[in-house]
Structure 1
Amino acid sequence: MELRHLRYFCVAAEELNMTRAAARLHMAQPPLTRQINQLESEIGARLFERGPRGLTLTAAGQFFHEHALQILEKVDTTVTATRRIARSHRELFGIGFVPSLFYGQLPLLVRGLRQKDDVELTLVELTSIQQIQALKAGRIDIGFGRLRIDDPEIEQEILFEEPLMVAMPHGHPLEGTTPSMAELAEYPLILFPATPRPSMADTVLGMFRRRGLKAKIAQEANEMQTALGLVVSDLGITLVPEQVKRQQRDGISYAYLAE
């Protein structure tokens, strides 16, 4: 599969007519039809239903169209950024970060670096363990994570420490209190990230284990924002770094732990 196949498909999905799609692509209709047929054969799914009134996207075709557009947009953005870097002769500097750090000091650091004339920044959202892999592969130059991961090839330094807080829905029985870990163990817990591990999820589970407690895991989420959305939906509580409190999300109350 090549990028041109994705472009052919997206134009055909927009026009829902092979003749009009071929005209937009400045090619004859039969070759375009063959390319679409080959794409369907390679994927192993029908992307279009052919009818007397033209084409309609199948459920698989709708899914593929949505993701093909994202891929093409990412490619176009990457090409544009590459050209900009080549013209500016700036040094490319990659920063990996966990999302919760953007509620604190990290935006100030990024703002300062962006003001430098000789640096082109790329920001990549990665978990702590993914940052280790990205540093080794040379995809980023520095990473800001929340876990110290033992690896002799990576230099790590603690910049600051902060407590964890309980995020709970408004009206929760623990609202307005300073709950203990034993009290938290009585309520459904939303854990994040689900993957990859080790992660903050293991840190949270370790806090319960060290006190001889077992967490009641109600749901696992890959993103912190998803976990907070589940809290608002009253599916459980979750533990988040203190900086997240600055977000002031509706429907959520925060409390410090007794420990």
Structure 2
Amino acid sequence: MELRHLRYFCVVAEELNFTCAAERLHMSQPPLSRQIKQLEQEVGAELFERGSRGLRLTQPGIFFQQRAIEILEKVNVTIDSTRHMARSKRSLFGIGFVPSIFYGQIPMLVRDLRQIDNIEISLAELTTVQQVHALKSGRIDIGFGRLRIDDPDIEQELLFNEPLIAAVPSGHPLEGSSPTCADLANYSLILFPAKPRPSFADMVLGIFRRQGLKANVLQEANEVQTALSLVASGIGITLVPEEVKRVQRDGISYIPLADKTITSPVLCSRRRHEKPSALMREATTILNKLVDDRLKGRYP
């Protein structure tokens, strides 16, 4: 099996039409059909259902497509990174993060890493699920998120549990109080991110559900900053991680919750079974110091 077979397959899987796929690949249709048939024989499974209504991926085909995309992405990233390193003579270190985490320790990690000679930092705003794919493809080396992922190729470390607080419009009836979830359920709630799911939004919904409450969801936003803008507009309230209160916005008040056990995990994701590079060891040392400072109340 060669890389070109994977590329052929992915194009056909996208088009679900041999003629259209052949046009994209600048080749004729019969050789493409033969290549795919040979690929299926080598894999030992039918990847496409061929019917009167055209092509459709089988379940093995769907699985194979996901893995083929990861392989091709990893190859492309490896080539691009190698070219970049050859030009710049610097080591590239990729960091993925969810937006709600980029208010506390992570910017300081980036700052300290940038002080190391011959290192270039690449930042990517990604959901936790997207970080898993980016880690596998080699696009990033470490990821920071809030969602627990069960994947044999990825290991996650709990850095700390971050308290959640409520962001409410200035002058809101809850301002100055420490509301319970029952109190919050009486008001219109703004969730984020709207997609992709599962995400922090589902974590928030789970908090209400576990207490036998139904959240009054009025609006969903894709980013925490958009959610805060909606709060400032008086549309509703939202729950945010504690570090978000560093964002000073006119028209918003941040208030603690009555239940201090309502928290969100801050998780660090890495590739499993990979020997840490010197750069990864340096990043881990810096990160451990930052987390220790936070846990001991020594905020920067």
- TM (norm. structure 1) is 0.66
Alpha-carbon distance, 1:82 to partner: 9.0
Alpha-carbon distance, 1:83 to partner: 7.7
Alpha-carbon distance, 1:87 to partner: 3.1
C-alpha distance in structure 1 between counterparts of 2:135 and 2:84, whole Å? 24
Query: What is residue 125 of structure 1 aligned with on the other side?
Result: 125
C-alpha distance in structure 2 between counterparts of 1:201 and 1:138, whole Å? 27
Query: What is residue 185 of structure 2 aligned with on the other side?
Result: 185
Q: For this pair of structures, how many residues does the alignment match?
A: 179
Greater RCO, CA 8 A, separation 6+? 2
Q: Deviation string for 1:2-32 (max 9, x for gaps)?
A: xxxxxxxxxxxxxxxxxxxxxxxxxxxxxxx
Query: What is residue 63 of structure 2 aligned with on the other side?
Result: none
Amino acid at match of 1:256: P
C-alpha distance in structure 2 between counterparts of 1:229 and 1:127, whole Å? 21
Q: Deviation string for 1:140-194 (max 9, x for gaps)?
A: 1110111222212101101122100000000111000000000100000000001
Alpha-carbon distance, 1:118 to partner: 2.5
Q: Is the 8 A contact 1:191 1:201 kept in 2?
A: yes
Query: What is residue 114 of structure 1 aligned with on the other side?
Result: 114
SS of the counterpart of 1:116? coil
C-alpha distance in structure 2 between counterparts of 1:100 and 1:150, whole Å? 22
C-alpha distance in structure 2 between counterparts of 1:180 and 1:148, whole Å? 25
Once the two structures are overlaid, the 10-residue window that deviates more, 129-138 or 177-186, is 129-138
Amino acid at match of 1:151: D
Alpha-carbon distance, 1:84 to partner: 6.6
C-alpha distance in structure 1 between counterparts of 2:131 and 2:212, whole Å? 32
Amino acid at match of 1:113: L
Matches of residues 1-80 of structure 1 in structure 2 within 5 Å? none
Once the two structures are overlaid, the 10-residue window that deviates more, 207-216 or 81-90, is 81-90
Q: 1:82 to 1:172 in 2, by over 3 A?
A: farther
Matches of residues 120-199 of structure 1 in structure 2 within 5 Å? 120-199=120-199
Q: Is the 8 A contact 1:85 1:120 kept in 2?
A: no
- TM (norm. structure 2) is 0.57
Query: What is residue 244 of structure 1 aligned with on the other side?
Result: 244
C-alpha distance in structure 1 between counterparts of 2:229 and 2:195, whole Å? 18
Query: What is residue 88 of structure 2 aligned with on the other side?
Result: 88
Q: Is the 8 A contact 1:95 1:143 kept in 2?
A: yes
C-alpha distance in structure 1 between counterparts of 2:116 and 2:221, whole Å? 37
Q: Deviation string for 1:190-217 (max 9, x for gaps)?
A: 0000101110000000000001100111
Alpha-carbon distance, 1:243 to partner: 0.2
Can you give the 5+ residue segments of structure 1 that lack an aligned partner in the other structure?
A: 1-80
C-alpha distance in structure 2 between counterparts of 1:107 and 1:193, whole Å? 21
C-alpha distance in structure 2 between counterparts of 1:83 and 1:255, whole Å? 49
SS of the counterpart of 1:93? strand
SS of the counterpart of 2:155? coil
C-alpha distance in structure 1 between counterparts of 2:151 and 2:201, whole Å? 20
Amino acid at match of 2:220: E
C-alpha distance in structure 1 between counterparts of 2:172 and 2:82, whole Å? 50
SS of the counterpart of 2:159? coil
Q: Is the 8 A contact 1:98 1:125 kept in 2?
A: yes
Can you give the 5+ residue segments of structure 2 that lack an aligned partner in the other structure?
A: 1-80, 260-300
C-alpha distance in structure 2 between counterparts of 1:98 and 1:86, whole Å? 30
Superposition RMSD on alpha carbons, in Å? 1.6
C-alpha distance in structure 1 between counterparts of 2:84 and 2:139, whole Å? 19
Q: Deviation string for 1:61-114 (max 9, x for gaps)?
A: xxxxxxxxxxxxxxxxxxxx9987433311111100111222101111101111
C-alpha distance in structure 1 between counterparts of 2:202 and 2:83, whole Å? 42
Q: Is the 8 A contact 1:93 1:122 kept in 2?
A: yes
SS of the counterpart of 1:95? strand
